[in-house]
Chain A
Amino acid sequence: MNFVHFIQLILVLIILIAVGVPLFRGLSKIKLFGKLDLSGEEYKHLLVRKEEVLLSIKDLEFDWKTHKVSEQDHQKQRKKLEEEAVAILERLDVLEKAKKKGKRSTRPANKV
Chain B
Amino acid sequence: MNDIGEFTLLVALAIALYGCVSYIMAVRGNRIDLYLSADKTPVIVWVCVVISSAALWRGFITNDFSLQYVWAYSNKELDTFYKLASFWGGQKGSLLFWTLLLTTYMCVVYFQNRKKNIRLMPYAMAIMLVIIIFFLVLLNFSTNPFERIPLPPEDGRGLNPLLQNYWMVIHPPTLYLGYVGFTVPFAFAMAALISKNLDDGWIRLTRKWTLWAWFFLCMGNLFGASWAYVELGWGGYWAWDPVENAAFMPLLVATAFLHSVQIQEKKDMMKVWNMSLVLLTFVMTIFGTFITRSGLIQSVHTFDEATLGYYFLAFLAVIIIICVVLILSRLPLLKSKNELDSFLSREASFLINNLVLLGIGFATFWGTIFPIISEAVRGVKITVGPPFYNQVNVPIGLVLLALIGIGPVIAWRRATWANLRKNFQIPSVIALVTAGILFPMVPLTGRAEIFTYVTFILCAFVLACILREFLNGAKARMGLEHGGSFVSELGTLTWHNKRRYGGYIVHIGMVLIFAGIAGSQSYSVHDQKHMKIGESFKLRDYTITYEKLTAVEATSVKTRVIAEVGIYKDNKRVWTGRPEKEFYKGQNQPVSEVDVLSTIVEDIYIILADFNEDESATLKVYLNPMVSWLWTGGWVIAFGTMICMWPDRLEQRRRLERMKKQQAIFAPAQE
- Residues on A close to B: CB < 8 A? 4, 7-8, 11-12, 15, 18-23, 25, 27-28, 30-33, 36-37, 39-41, 43-45, 47-49, 51-52, 55-56, 59-60, 62-63, 65-70, 72-73, 76-77, 95-96, 99-100, 111-112
B41 touches A100 (CB 8 A): no
Q: Judging by beta carbons under 8 Å apart, are A18 and B44 in contact?
A: yes
Chain B, residues 10-34, CB within 8 Å of chain A (1/0): the string is: 0100010010000000110011111
List of A residues within 8 angstroms of B26 by Cβ: 32
A32-B35, A40-B666, A69-B411 given; 15 more Cβ-contact pairs under 8 Å? A30-B33, A31-B31, A31-B32, A32-B32, A33-B30, A33-B118, A39-B666, A51-B658, A55-B266, A56-B412, A62-B476, A67-B422, A68-B411, A70-B416, A111-B337
Of the residues B11, B31, B199, B472, contact of A45 by C-beta under 8 Å? B199
Q: A22-B37, A30-B32, A69-B415 are in contact. Are A43 and B409 (CB under 8 A)?
A: no
Chain A interface secondary structure, helix, strand, loop or mixed?
helix
Instruction: Give Cα A28–Cα B665 distance, bound, in whole angstroms.
Output: 29
Complex formed: what's the CA distance from A49 to B36 in Å?
A: 33
Question: Is residue B62 contacting chain A, with contact meaning CB distance below 8 A?
Answer: no
Q: Are B33 and A23 touching (Cβ within 8 A)?
A: yes
- Residues from chain B with a CB closer than 8 A to the CB of A60 are 411-413
Contact present for B662 and A43 (CB under 8 Å): yes
**Cβ-defined contact, B337 with A27, below 8 A:** no
Q: Is the interface of B mostly helix, strand, loop or mixed?
A: helix
- Asked if B564 is at the interface of the complex by the 8 Å CB criterion, the answer is no
- Could you tell me if B654 and A19 are in contact, using CB atoms closer than 8 angstroms? no
Distance A11 CA – B45 CA, assembled complex (angstroms): 12
Q: Could you say which residues of chain A place their CB within 8 Å of the CB of B329?
A: none
Give the residue name and chain of the A residue nearest to B497 (CB).
Answer: A62
B15 near A15 with CB under 8 A, answer: yes
Interface residues of B in 566-592 (CB under 8 A from A): none
A69–B33 contact, CB under 8 A? no
CB atoms of A77 and B413 under 8 A apart = yes
A residues within 8 A CB of B44? Answer: 15, 18-19
The stretch of B1-9, B309-317, B548-556 in contact with A is: B1-9
19 A-B contacts (beta carbon < 8 Å): A12-B11, A15-B15, A19-B37, A19-B38, A19-B40, A23-B33, A23-B34, A27-B32, A27-B33, A33-B118, A43-B665, A51-B658, A56-B413, A65-B479, A68-B410, A72-B416, A77-B341, A95-B665, A96-B665
Nearest B residue to A40 via CB reads B666
Query: Which residues of A sit under 8 angstroms from B31, Cβ to Cβ?
Result: 28, 31-32
A73-B415 contact in complex given A15-B15, A51-B658, C-beta closer than 8 Å: yes
Q: Point out the residues of chain B lying under 8 angstroms from A11, CB to CB.
A: 7-8, 11
Q: B30, A31: Cβ atoms under 8 Å?
A: yes
Q: Known contacts A4-B3, A15-B44: does B414 contact A44 (CB below 8 Å)? A: no
Cα–Cα distance between A19 and B639 once the two chains are bound (Å): 43
Asked if B268 lies at the interface with its beta carbon under 8 angstroms from chain A, I say yes
How many A-B contacts are there with CB distance less than 8 Å? 139
Within 8 A of A (CB), among B397-446: 409-416, 418-419, 422-423
Residue in chain B with minimal CB distance to A74: B411
Contact B662 A44 (CB under 8 A): yes
Please report the C-alpha to C-alpha distance between residue A20 and residue B33 in the assembled complex, in whole angstroms. Answer: 10
- Given A19-B44, A23-B37, A73-B416; A68-B662 close (CB under 8 Å): no
The chain A residue sitting closest to B670, CB to CB, is: A44
Docked pose: A73 CA to B416 CA in angstroms: 8
| B15 adjacent to A19 (CB under 8 Å) | yes
- Which of B33, B199, B341, B479 has the most chain A CB within a 10 Å cutoff? B33
Q: Are B472 and A27 in contact (CB under 8 A)?
A: no
Q: List residues of chain B with CB within 8 A of the CB of A59.
A: 412
Which residues of chain A are near B658, meaning CB under 8 Å? 44, 47-48, 51
Residue pair B40, A18 in contact (C-beta under 8 Å): yes
Contact check, A32 vs B412: say whether CB atoms are below 8 A apart.
no
